[in-house]
Amino acid sequence: MAQLAQLLALAVAALLAVAYRSGLVGPDSALFIAYAIGALYTGQQLLSRLDMPLGAAFEAVLARPESRANTWTYWVYLATLAISAAVIVQILLDALG
């Protein structure tokens, strides 16, 4: 079930990027959704590591794919964060210029 949720988060991030670039979603909504995807997904990853100190949990989430049962979930997580970050950067660049 958790793997399905991870794939769903990736799909939502990708659809958000397409919807924002095509003008179907405004910048304010896209910024909120992109931030929420990153924050909630990271929070879920940290909650699954409650037995670890916070610094070690962040390190495991962001830098150690071997800390997961399936290594591909690490790459799905990074791809989701990268797409969300790209949407946020695009919004900020559009606002500046």
Per-residue model confidence (pLDDT) at position 1 = 63
Q: How far apart are CA 27 and CA 87, in angstroms?
A: 9
Give the pLDDT band (50/70/90) at residue 2. Answer: confident
Mean pLDDT of the chain: 92
Q: Is the pLDDT of residue 71 over 90?
A: no
Q: Which amino acid is at 3?
A: Q
Q: How far apart are CA 45 and CA 62, in angstroms?
A: 10
Per-residue model confidence (pLDDT) at position 68 = 82
Question: What residues contact residue 49 under an 8 Å CB cut-off, 6+ apart?
Answer: 56, 57, 60, 61
Token pair belonging to 74: 């690490």
* Other Cβ atoms within 10 Å of 61 Cβ, number: 22
pTM: 0.88
